[in-house]
Chains A and B, each alone.
Chain A
Amino acid sequence: MSTTTRRPAGQSGKGAAGKAMPAATAGRNATAKSRQGQRWLAWIFLAPTILGMGLFTLIPIVASVVLAFFRWDIISAPTFVGFDNFSEVVQDPTVRVSFLNTILFVVVAVALQLGLALALAIMVQEKMPSWLRVFFRSAFFFPLILSAASVSIFMRYLFNEQFGVVNWFLSLVGIPAVPWLTTPGGSAAVVILVYVWQNFGFSFLLFIGGLASIPVETYEAAAIDGATGWRKHLHVTLPLLSPTTLVASVMAIISALQVFDQPYVLTRGGPGDSTRTAVMVIFESAFQRLEFGQASAIGVLLTLIIMAITAAQFRLSKRFVFYQ
């Protein structure tokens, strides 16, 4: 891929460079004509994407915001209710709990995901036979290609209280059976573990890329200054990696805020509301209770939170991110 980008045009276009000189005037004419052609072609080429996005993304965004101010159950005509949906949603205990759950989930899952990914990326990037490195990278990447629904299906068996493999392993070290999926704390832990298990590979890939772009000279200089082992990573790797960490954390947080598949399949939000997430509540109020206005209001709130967090991260980054 990168080879094509660096090849000078003259070598790749057959005889193009040779013809350019004598045909200079004809060339100017042709470019003028092709300007016109380019404009037409551009709009034809853009049509599928732009029309599709307008129809299935832009209009729905506007509709979602508008709908948040209406009460509508699809059957009867929508009625304008002002901010009622928002005030009801904010006071609804289930919605409150689900947003709180989501925030707790994001904090714990993202911290685990980034910490694990960073530690593993640093360990994988240090000296080792290259076949082993390829194996580790592939292994950590592997869960990413599976479906979250399928993963949650088999994880439910693994975390089963009586015949689950996890509790069997724990029993080997003398830990009594943990009621994973039947208690609020256990369920939350399972949802977090399953989510992190599947997603840490993505942050891992980003960190691998970031580590590869740190120049060796920096480490050589650090070694001369006497920094070795973990101090080398603390004083050299972490600061130089901070742009990657920012990108990885923004992406991890945005994706964790939208968690749905794992809690839906693993626990259906239970027991009680202990693993109900923001997106689950959107799903339930729209497609189970047919309160489309309220669902939209929750969606708008979630989007605002996502936007606020992203903005805050980039603002904070000005202070903490170190660009070379």
Chain B
Amino acid sequence: MTTTTDHGLAGHSPRLSEGLPETASNRRRFNWNFAFRIVLLLLAAALTLGPVLWTLSTSLRSPSESFKLPPSFIPWNPDFTSYGEVFQQLNIFLLVLNSALVTGLIAVGQMVSAALAGYAFAHLKFRGRGALFSIVLATMMVPVQVTIVPVFMLIRGMGLSDTLLALILPAIPTAFGTFLMRQYFMGLPAELAEAASIDGASPWRTFRSVYAPLAMPGMAIVGILAFNFHWNEFFRPLILTISEQNFTLPLGLVSLQGNLGTGSISVVLAGVVLSMIPALVVFMFGQRALQDGLTAGTGK
């Protein structure tokens, strides 16, 4: 954990940028290199952000104007008809509610179960700890697509076919989250537990009052990762939900596009924009946590 947090992703780059010796010839050519580099980077940023800006801008055109070229990137006269329209064509409240319910419960479930398991692997002593942890890590390598058929049957067997629980339950046990929380707890000193037990605290109390409060930032990373991943998830909902009342947002939007064919772009895009809002909130407030979480375990 500590290795990945040291990058200072949001701040300065600690090493490469600073202190590069500038030789005389370097300094003379520096401005040209700099300008060229910035232009290339700006171009890349424009290509990255452009499609999203176009989506936002087009969703604010009236449905009849949404085809028009040249494309607009700045919505000079925003028109909100498409947003009204998308609420009529799609039961968007239900989709948002389903997505929020599924994503929220998975995130909370992962935070709790990963914190508990991570703590056990990091600070509790029991037989078979190393072997069990290796098994947990190994499950990370198995792609969802490979286990989906048996999971689908298991869900049927449990009588959970076409329910939101079918999406929630299998997603709660998390190998990656457990790994992340274990690393996090390992970063907290073991002396805390020794001190607590000398003070007469039971192992449960040691966890509850000493470690769990300190682990909140780690749990937040697990929660944000889970939220981002499952809010955007398409494959499992496509298979595990059948009736439209159990669809999540991505599924609802894809079926909306299918229904409209190439009808009114702006309506579909209005739906897409609405679905992006939670992701944008995560991006603004949890970007650092998300970056740390995504790259956790890949550091040296």
On A, residues with C-beta under 8 Å from B are 1-2, 4-5, 7-10, 12-13, 16-17, 19-20, 23, 26-27, 30-31, 34-35, 37-39, 41-46, 48-53, 55-61, 63-64, 67, 74, 116, 120, 123-128, 130, 132-151, 153-158, 160, 163, 165, 168, 197, 201-202, 205-206, 208-209, 211-216, 219-220, 223, 228-229, 243-244, 247-248, 251, 254, 257-258, 260-261, 264-265, 279, 282-283, 286-287, 292, 295-296, 299-300, 302-303, 306-307, 310
- Please give, as numbers and ranges, the residues of chain B lying within 8 Å of A134 by CB-CB distance: 10-11
B131 touches A (CB below 8 Å): no
Instruction: Flag if B235 contacts A30 (CB, 8 Å).
Output: no
CB < 8 Å neighbour of A20 from B2, B117, B195: B195
CB < 8 Å neighbour of B149 from A10, A260, A292: A292
- Please give, as numbers and ranges, the residues of chain B lying within 8 Å of A155 by CB-CB distance: 51
B48 touches A (CB below 8 Å): yes
Instruction: Flag if A142 contacts B52 (CB, 8 Å).
Output: yes
CB < 8 Å neighbour of B269 from A148, A154, A243: A154
Instruction: Flag if A45 contacts B120 (CB, 8 Å).
Output: yes
How distant is the Cα of A13 from the Cα of B184 in the complex, in angstroms?
18
With known contacts A37-B202, A123-B37, A45–B299 Cβ distance under 8 A? no
- Please give, as numbers and ranges, the residues of chain A lying within 8 Å of B299 by CB-CB distance: 209, 213
Q: Closest B residue to A247 by CB, please name it.
A: B298
Instruction: Flag if A209 contacts B17 (CB, 8 Å).
Output: no
How distant is the Cα of A251 from the Cα of B299 in the complex, in angstroms?
13
Instruction: Flag if A283 contacts B239 (CB, 8 Å).
Output: yes
With known contacts A50-B117, A128-B17, A150-B276, A56–B151 Cβ distance under 8 A? yes
Instruction: Flag if A149 contacts B7 (CB, 8 Å).
Output: no
**Using a CB-CB cutoff of 8 Å, which residues 128-153 of chain B contact chain A?**
129, 132, 135-136, 139, 141-153
- Please give, as numbers and ranges, the residues of chain B lying within 8 Å of A206 by CB-CB distance: 295, 298
CB < 8 Å neighbour of A34 from B18, B202, B250, B291: B202
Instruction: Flag if A61 contacts B191 (CB, 8 Å).
Output: no
B75 touches A (CB below 8 Å): no
Q: Closest A residue to B10 by CB, please name it.
A: A134
How distant is the Cα of A299 from the Cα of B151 in the complex, in angstroms?
13
How distant is the Cα of A137 from the Cα of B280 in the complex, in angstroms?
15
Instruction: Flag if A125 contacts B16 (CB, 8 Å).
Output: yes
- Please give, as numbers and ranges, the residues of chain B lying within 8 Å of A135 by CB-CB distance: 45
The 3 closest A-B pairs by CB, nearest first: A9-B191, A52-B173, A16-B195
Q: List 10 A-B contacts (CB under 8 A).
A: A16-B198, A34-B197, A38-B125, A128-B37, A135-B45, A146-B276, A211-B16, A213-B300, A279-B235, A282-B148
- Please give, as numbers and ranges, the residues of chain B lying within 8 Å of A127 by CB-CB distance: 17-18, 20, 34
With known contacts A52-B172, A120-B41, A168-B69, A150–B232 Cβ distance under 8 A? yes
B170 touches A (CB below 8 Å): yes
B74 touches A (CB below 8 Å): no
- Please give, as numbers and ranges, the residues of chain A lying within 8 Å of B291 by CB-CB distance: 141, 205
- Please give, as numbers and ranges, the residues of chain A lying within 8 Å of B169 by CB-CB distance: 52, 56
- Please give, as numbers and ranges, the residues of chain A lying within 8 Å of B97 by CB-CB distance: none
Instruction: Flag if A27 contacts B198 (CB, 8 Å).
Output: yes
A170: shortest Cβ distance to chain B, in Å?
12
B257 touches A (CB below 8 Å): yes
How distant is the Cα of A310 from the Cα of B67 in the complex, in angstroms?
45
CB < 8 Å neighbour of B150 from A60, A213, A214, A303: A60
How distant is the Cα of A74 from the Cα of B279 in the complex, in angstroms?
38
Q: Closest B residue to A306 by CB, please name it.
A: B143
How distant is the Cα of A124 from the Cα of B41 in the complex, in angstroms?
8
Instruction: Flag if A48 contacts B295 (CB, 8 Å).
Output: no
Q: Assuming A49-B117, A157-B268, what are 5 further A-B pairs, CB within 8 angstroms?
A: A49-B136, A52-B172, A56-B154, A147-B231, A216-B19
A38: shortest Cβ distance to chain B, in Å?
5
- Please give, as numbers and ranges, the residues of chain B lying within 8 Å of A258 by CB-CB distance: 143-145
**Using a CB-CB cutoff of 8 Å, which residues 269-300 of chain B contact chain A?**
269, 272, 275-276, 279-280, 282-283, 287, 290-292, 294-295, 298-300
B84 touches A (CB below 8 Å): no
B23 touches A (CB below 8 Å): yes
How distant is the Cα of A64 from the Cα of B116 in the complex, in angstroms?
29
Instruction: Flag if B300 contacts A145 (CB, 8 Å).
Output: no
B288: shortest Cβ distance to chain A, in Å?
10
Instruction: Flag if A220 contacts B136 (CB, 8 Å).
Output: no
Instruction: Flag if B172 contacts A46 (CB, 8 Å).
Output: no
- Please give, as numbers and ranges, the residues of chain B lying within 8 Å of A37 by CB-CB distance: 202-204
Instruction: Flag if B23 contacts A223 (CB, 8 Å).
Output: yes
How distant is the Cα of A64 from the Cα of B146 in the complex, in angstroms?
7
CB < 8 Å neighbour of A45 from B12, B37, B117, B175: B117
A10: shortest Cβ distance to chain B, in Å?
7
Instruction: Flag if B262 contacts A160 (CB, 8 Å).
Output: yes
How distant is the Cα of A291 from the Cα of B135 in the complex, in angstroms?
30
- Please give, as numbers and ranges, the residues of chain A lying within 8 Å of B116 by CB-CB distance: 44-46, 48-49
CB < 8 Å neighbour of B7 from A13, A59, A124, A208: A208
Instruction: Flag if B150 contacts A63 (CB, 8 Å).
Output: yes
B4 touches A (CB below 8 Å): yes
CB < 8 Å neighbour of A153 from B18, B23, B231, B253: B253
**Using a CB-CB cutoff of 8 Å, which residues 192-227 of chain B contact chain A?**
192, 194-200, 202-204, 207, 214, 217-218
A138: shortest Cβ distance to chain B, in Å?
7
